[in-house]
Chains A and B, each alone.
Chain A
Amino acid sequence: MRIQKHPILQFQHGKKVAFTFQGRKMEGYCDEPIAAALVAAGIKVLSHSKKLKRPRGFFCAIGKCSSCLMKVNGIPNVRTCVTRLEEGMVVEIQ
């Protein structure tokens, strides 16, 4: 969900870009982190804990907690909350 009107801020987004998440076509903006585009699209689960496979989601937004680590363009353990979204990115839960 995206904010349409705000009393203080004016959001000037960059270009809209297309990417895939788990094979699904999605859209986001080229000046936001991958994880923000996923949250905007209502995606809650970004990864799972190693042992008990508990669902994990966006938490710290500064690349420190490791809940947002995903496979991007085949590269594992990408910190999606501090990585810019690019056109054609292939984003997967690893």
Chain B
Amino acid sequence: MSIATNGIPTKKEMEKVFPSKKLLARGPVVIVECFQHIPCDPCAASCPSGAIMPFEDINDLPEVNHNRCTGCGLCIASCPGLAIFVVDITYSPTEALIKLPYELLPLPKKNQIVSGLDREGQKIADVRVDKVVRTKNKTSIITIIVPRELAMVIRSIKVEDQQNG
């Protein structure tokens, strides 16, 4: 099983984009879960601090200079593949903060409890919504607070309300 057969990155693939323990201990870190050479570079164009390095060839994989990343999350909304996340394991001793892209209805509200899903869409835990930022291009950036050990596992949410049918 690999990302090419089931859409889920393998441990080996994830290791290529995992920030080091040292970086994680500093504060918010951007994680770009992009593993395929496709012609695409809006992430670099969107980064105000130059943390996502400008592409030499648009088919290159994004390269992150974590020293420059402030965790602002602008790249999250710019990625056409919705593949970018910001993780902050220093949020609290037991909790981590995750910023993720969201393009479904209904949008959750601040402090709402929603389901935290892993990369297979399985519910892993209840998580609290800390912030909902609507952006001009209609990709919302949702900040959730998750149990710290799930910071690298939870990558999506499910809001328990019936969507229009």
Direct A–B contact in the complex, CB atoms closer than 8 angstroms: yes
The interface-forming segment of A5-13, A31-39, A45-53, A79-87 is: A5-13
B138 to chain A: closest residue by CB: A8
Total chain A interface residues with beta-carbon distance under 8 A: 7
Q: Are B105 and A7 in contact (CB under 8 A)?
A: yes
Residues of A contacting B105 with CB < 8 Å?
5-7
A6 to chain B, nearest CB (A): 7
> 0/1 per residue, A4-37, Cβ < 8 Å to B?
1111100000000000000000000000000000
Q: Are A7 and B103 in contact (CB under 8 A)?
A: yes
A35 to chain B, nearest CB (A): 22
By DSSP majority rule, is chain A's interface helix, strand, loop, or mixed?
Answer: loop
By DSSP majority rule, is chain B's interface helix, strand, loop, or mixed?
Answer: loop
Q: Are B104 and A5 in contact (CB under 8 A)?
A: no
Q: Are A7 and B164 in contact (CB under 8 A)?
A: no
Residues of B contacting A4 with CB < 8 Å?
164
Which residues of B139-165 have CB atoms within 8 Å of chain A's CB atoms? 163-165
Q: Are B164 and A5 in contact (CB under 8 A)?
A: yes
> 0/1 per residue, B101-115, Cβ < 8 Å to A?
001110100000000
B140 to chain A: closest residue by CB: A7
Q: Are A7 and B165 in contact (CB under 8 A)?
A: no
CB within 8 Å of B: which residues of A?
A: 1, 3-8
